[in-house]
Structure 1
Amino acid sequence: MQIVQTSDNWLSKEAVFKHLSELAENTYTDRTVYLAANFKESNSVTPKIAGPVIEAVINEVGSNDTGMVLFRRDEELTVIEPPLPFSMDAITQDQDTLLLEDIFDVPKTIAVVLVRLGRYAVALMEGQELVETKTEGRQMKNRHKAGGSSQRRFERSRERLIRELYDKVCGVSQRIFEPRMHDIDYLFLGGEKHTVNGFKKRCGFIEKFNGKIMSRLINVDEPNSEALKSLSHEIYKSRVRVFKTVR
């Protein structure tokens, strides 16, 4: 038996449930399987007892920090990786979306840090609403064309500006998040990957979110007020993949 992926999309909450509603109207779902976050690391037995086809798809997709829900219909399986983690495994008959609905309906407190060289945005969200934000641009020098000592001076100056940016973002994050640390459920980071990784290494405060930092990097071209307006839409996207079995 071979598993073939036929589609892979990131969908909004509305698009996900529209897709599932259309499936329920047009096809019969004989089994729904929920897997909690990091199910392989927790040695979950659910993949094995869910059936060979579902197990094969699970092995293809792999474990992650949100878990997944699978809907099996004849020779086709739809896999949805939600924006936030499932906390439990479950196997049910027919199409069961209750645990998936809970992801969106139960309000969570979410911290967000978006950073690119030259600009950052920090936000705190209650459910899907922004409750506190801060965004700012900082001047960054362009690459110097000359060589020798001029190039080295440019590189030292640029490194200093990057450190100052990281320290500024770290300080703003601490000011906004620290009073609510016990309330915050998850932290999302976004921007350019290399810059975000540098920020994580530089900002010791981020270590306090151990176990709460989501691995998905939020895609943002410019961390500004316009990006914050669409932040909830971006964070609450789910990855939806469809697989078919070929015998």
Structure 2
Amino acid sequence: WQGPSPIGGKARPGSPIATNAAGTLVAFVDTNGNVVNDWVSNGAWQGPSGLGGKARGDSPLAFNAAGDHIYFIDTDGNVANDWVSNGAWQGPSPIGGKARAGSGLATDAAGTHVAFVDTNGNLANDWVSNGAWQGPSGMGGQPRGDSPLAFNAAGDHIYFIDGNGNVANDWVSNGAWQGPSPIGGKARAGSGLATDAAGTHVAFVDTNGSLANDWVSNGAWQGPSGLGGTSR
């Protein structure tokens, strides 16, 4: 490991950071509230440059794996996106629905499903069908006010922290969203949440401050179990 080294630009206080799967594009919110990015070209970091639009003060950012779609919550509370067409960033444009204050935001690897918490506190999503955005529609459950959201790569499992502090999930079966159902363990206030591409491991910070996980074995959720270390 080498570094640290600046890659370009300054972020406003509280700005999220998102990257594509390759780690060659990094999005953030600059000091003027604009959604911007740095990118690698010819082996060197370039930028920053605006992608389009301004993010609400509490907005997360979510890139798809390819890094050609970025999702955020705009200053009017709309779930919105910028996208690449003919080599240039386009947008912003709302995709459907409004997000409550503090809403998490997640997308799948393809960037064709976007989950958020609506203004009624319900876990909801927008999705692409026949080339157009559809939704929003409820997925199941009401996340805790500080809950992050985490999709697996395929976009058929979504993880969150429910109102009782349980690590929970919704999942697709026979083409419809099912759930919510706890998978194991309780998360402390402010816990992060992450899953792997397959959606078979979910990490969080438990109520003792320990980094913990749930995992799938023989088709059933197991855990929680400590991974090692405590979180600030």
Would the TM-score normalized by the shorter structure come out above 0.5? Answer: no
Greater relative CO (CA pairs within 8 A, separation 6+)? 1
Higher helix share: 1
TM-score of the two chains, using structure 1 as the length reference: 0.27
- Relative to the length of structure 2, the TM-score reads 0.28
More strand by share: 2
